[in-house]
Amino acid sequence: MSVYAAFSAAPVSVNKGLKKLSQPIGIRPDHIADEETLLYLKPQYDHRAPNEYTIRRYWDDSDIFTITGHKYGDTPAREFRDASGLPMFQSRATSLAWKRPLRVRLPGNEETELVDFRIIANGVFKLSFRNAMAPEVEEKSYNMVDLEVRDMDSAAWSGCSATVRGQKVLDVRESISMNKTLPKGRAKGDISLMPRQILEVSVAEGFDMSLAALIAVHMADTRFSTAPPPRR
């Protein structure tokens, strides 16, 4: 059994803060946050834009990731790229959206699941993966991590949080300040110009920002999507 596998019995408080992880956790060692980091996810108004989402650092507006929409056959999918444009991983919708909404794999690898993504209750889902930051041990299951993600809303915003063994490692929520600047209108009959919500993504020191991006994009697609699906 994974040393990270225990789940919290109750939702973590909306106001609970992020703390530095004693053991870094992630799937991409090159994207582990070296300090508590605030990012923001900005959707494109035009669903035909090459980059469906851009994720940037809040403090200097530098690009961290871009996410594009495309298809594998008849299956909607997304490709996550780093700031240099190199592909990191892909997420692909499944026919079991009520149970296992996404498959997450490395580019060109159709066999191995990088992240096992499952819904375990209404408003709660679980990501299971091998921690690339853990020391190598003979018992591979020891390095497996279960990350719990819960919807968390307040009177002012909607969002979600992620925890490992009850420790909050991620907050994703509507950006109250940045969404005030979004245009209110849209061209008549063109839903592609309807504004989509900008999300703030707070990442704990020691947590993988690419995993944070995966969760934020899933939330944007499922809870804040007002435009049509990505171009096929």
Give pLDDT tens digits for 52-95.
Answer: 899 999 999 999 999 998 655 667 789 999 999 999 999 988 87
Residue 210: predicted pLDDT:
98
88 or 227: which leads in pLDDT: 88
Residue 108: predicted pLDDT:
82
67 lies in a domain? no
Range of the domain at 147: 29-50+113-223
126 lies in a domain? yes
76 lies in a domain? no
Residue partners of 172: CB distance under 8 A and separation at least 6:
41, 159, 160, 161, 199, 200, 201, 202, 212, 215, 216, 219
The share of the chain scoring above pLDDT 70, in percent, equals 71
Q: Using CA of residue 178, residue 226, residue 184, residue 153, what is the dihedral sign?
A: negative
Residue 94 is encoded by which pair of tokens?
A: 């499944």
63 lies in a domain? no
140 or 162: which leads in pLDDT: 162
Residue 142: predicted pLDDT:
67
2 lies in a domain? no
d(CA 14, CA 33): 22
80 lies in a domain? no
12 lies in a domain? no
Instruction: Give me the number of domains the chain comprises.
Output: 1
Residue 20: predicted pLDDT:
95
The share of the chain scoring above pLDDT 90, in percent, equals 50
Average pLDDT, the chain: 80
The answer to which of 23-37, 48-62, 116-130, 216-230 has the lowest mean pLDDT is 216-230
44 lies in a domain? yes
d(CA 81, CA 51): 10
Residue 133 is encoded by which pair of tokens?
A: 């930051």
Question: 115-161 pLDDT, tens per residue?
Answer: 999 999 988 999 999 999 988 765 556 689 999 999 987 666 678 99
